[in-house]
Chains A and B, each alone.
Chain A
Amino acid sequence: MIDEAVVARVLAAALRTGGDFAEVFAEDKLSSSARLDDGKIEELTSGRDRGAGIRVVRDDTTGFAHTSDLTEEGLRAAAEAAGAAARGGGGGVREVALTRRNNTSPHEVQILPEDVAKSRKADLLLKANDAARAAGGAVRQVGATYGDSHRKILVANSDGLLTTDDQVRTRLMVSCVASGDTGMQTGYEAPGRTIGFELFDEVDPADIAREAARRALVMLKARPAPSGTLPVVLKRGAGGVLFHEACGHGLEADLVGRDASVFRDKVGTQVASPLVNLVDDGTYAREWGTYAIDDEGHPAQRNSLIENGELTDYMWDHLRARKAGRQSSGNGRRQSYHHLPMVRMTNTYVLAGEEDPEEIIRQTPHGIYCVQLGGGQVNTATGDFVFGITEAYMIENGEITHPIRSANLIGNGPEVLRAIDAVGNDFDTWTGTCGKDGQGVPVSSGQPTLRVSAMTVGGTAA
C-alpha cells in the first residue's frame, strides 16, 4: 500500500515536534452491497475507502490527522498536523528503523468477494425474497441486503513495527414485515462471518429469509410484554449482548482509566455468580469480531475476563497499556482511518456450564424466555444497561407459552452478573455492530442458555 522507506520517513517527520510515539495506520477497503426491497433489486453499490490516519503521542496528549492522499507529500502533511497537535518543547531528528512482522490468520478465506460475479450476489437476494414471501400470506414486505468488505490495513509505528493484514467480511440481512389484526410486526435475521463468499456454502439465504419471516409471523400473535421484575431465561446465542452491555464495556481500560466504570478497582474480586466464565477472543475463527491483528498492529488474543465469577483482567489498547506498564491485549480498534483507535471488544462470550437448557426452563415457574435480542446500551459509570427483546415468550409453570411483544429489559451490570443462577451446557454466537463514541466496529457475542433470577421487563401489561 505504501513503500516501507516512505513510512519510515513519515514517522520520523511525525516525531520532529518532540513526540515520544508515532504511528501510521493506512487502509484500503473495497466494499460492495446489494439491496432488495419491495420485490425489486433497488441497487448495487460499490465503495472504495482509502487513506491513512497518523497519530503522535507526547506524554498523555495525542495528536491525530488523517488524509486520503497516500503520496509521501500527503502523508507528511498529515504527520506534521498530528505532530503540531502534540507538540512539545523538545524535538529534533529521530530515525525510525522498521521491522516487518508477519501475522498468522485465525482462518483462511476461500473466495474473495471481488472475485464473485455481481449477478450471484443479486441472486441471493431474489432467493431470500421468494422464500420469505412463501412463508405465509401475512408476510407483506421483505427487505434483504447483501454486504461484503475486503479491508487491507498497514500499521507502522516508531517502536519499529511494520505489519499488515487482510480482513474479509460477508453478511446477509433479511427483514420482514407481517400484518394482522394487531397491526404490523417485524422479524429480522442477519448472519455474518469474517470469511468470503463461502459463507453461502453453509448459510442458505432461503433459510435466513424463512427464519426472519417466521419471527414476524410469531410476533403477530404476541401479547403485551409484562411490566415489572421477573426471572429471565436467555436462549443460547441470544443473550451474549447482555454480557457485552452488563460488563463488557465496563471492562474496557479506557473507561476504567477515566473512572467511568463500576468495575474500577475490582480485579481479583468476585463480580459475578461463580457460574460465570467470560472471555473476549479476537482469534475465534470466522466469527464477526475476528482479526489477525488489531488496528494498532497487535496480534489478536484470547483474553479471560471473568473466571468462576472473579474479575481477572480488563481489555487494553496500546495507549492504556503503555500507561499501565503492560502489554496491549489486542483490543485497539477503529472504524476506519478517519478515527483514533480505542479499547473495543471482539467476540465476547460466556463459556458453557453444565445444566440441561430444557431443565433450566422447567425449573422456572414464571418468567420470560428470550430467543432473539435486538441490541442494547449501557451507562458504564452507573452500570445501568438495557437490551431489547425481538422474539420472546412467557414461561408459565416451567413451560414456554405465548409470545410477547418487543420491549427493553433494564438492569444494573454488577447486580445482574450476581443474579445468574443457571448456566446451560449448550452454546451459540450472535453477530452485531458495537457503537462507542461514534465509531461502529463488527463484534460478536455468545453464551449458553442461562437464567438471570430477576430483571426488570419494560412491557405495558400490568
Chain B
Amino acid sequence: MNAGEEVLSVSNLTVEFDTQEGTLAAVSDVSISLKRGETLAIVGESGSGKSVTSQAIIGTLPMPPGRITGGQIHFDGQNLLELAPAKRRAIAGARIAMISQDAQSALDSRFTVGYQIGEMFRHHRGWSWKKSRAAAVELLDKVRIPNAARRVNDYPHQFSGGMQQRAVIAAAISLQPDLLIADEPTTALDVTVQAEVMKLLDELKTELDLSMILVTHDLAQAYETADRVSVMYAGRVVEHADRDRIFAAPAHPYTRGLFAATPRMDQGDAELVVIPGTTPNLAALPQGCAFAPRCPYKLDRCAIERPPSAIVAEDHSSACFLASDVHALGSPFPKATSDTGRRQEAQ
C-alpha cells in the first residue's frame, strides 16, 4: 500500500442489537475512512456507538445479539463483510489489530507474557517456540519494557498496569498490522502512564507506518493524537473534519456543546457551559435529530426530520440544518472573564 491511499473505508454501516426493549440500532449509517499513516479519532460518550463501530471493523461484535444489517467495510480493497469467516479472521488477526481499555483482561494470568506474545507467531506463522520467544523479547524491547530478555518470563501480575498495556501493544503490533484500533487505550491508567502509552503509540505509528483509529471520550487526547476526528452521537457520525478545523470551529451543536462542557487545564476562571439533559435511550430515539431535545439551536423541523450531512468546508461535514451557522460561531471554548494569573501579572 502506498501513502495517501485509503486503508479502510466504512460506508453506511448499520449495526442492530436485539434487546429486551426491542431492536435498537447501536450504529446507524456510519461512514468513515482512513488513509495510510493517518490517525482518526472517533469521539463520543457512552452509547454513541464508537466501540460498536470498531468491533464491527475488527469482527469481534457479539453476534447475536448484534447484527450487521447494512453497509460495507472495505479494507485493502476487499469488503470484509463478504469474506468467509476463516479468511476474515486471518485478516483481522494479522493485519488489523486492536488494543482495548482493559489490558488486564486481554492478558491471560496463567501464561507468561512472552508465551502470549509468542503465540501470535506460532499461531499465525507456525514458528518454533524458540524463534517466537526471541521475537517476543524483541517486541517487548520495542515497547520500551526494560530488561525485556528477563521480563519475557514474567506473568502478567508481575507487570504494572502501564507495562501490561505495553505488553498488549507488543502483541498487537507483532504481525506488523496495517491498522491498529485503540479503543480507550489509556482510560484505566494513571495520568503519567497515560502520557507514556500515548507517546509510545505515536512513535510506533511512525516506526511501523501504521494507520490508527483512536476511540476516545477525551477531546484533548483526540486533539493531541489525531489527524482527523469523527464525532458520534446516538449511533451516528454527527460531525467529521480534520483536527484543526473541528477544534477551531465545530459545525455541529453537539460537538460545540461537548467542547464547552469539558474542563480544561487552561480553563482559567471560565465557567463550563452545560449541555442539558442526558444521552438518549437508543431504544426510544426521537424521530428527527437525536440531539434535538438537548440542542440550544433547535428548529421546529429538527423534531420531525433528520438533518442530512452538510459540507461546511473542505473535508468538514456536519449533520445539522444549521451547520454553516454553527460553524460561523468559531471557537467553542468559553472565554475566561479575567485572564489567568500569569498573564495578568505580566501586564
Q: Do A and B bind each other?
A: no
The interface of chain B, by Cβ under 8 A from chain A, is none
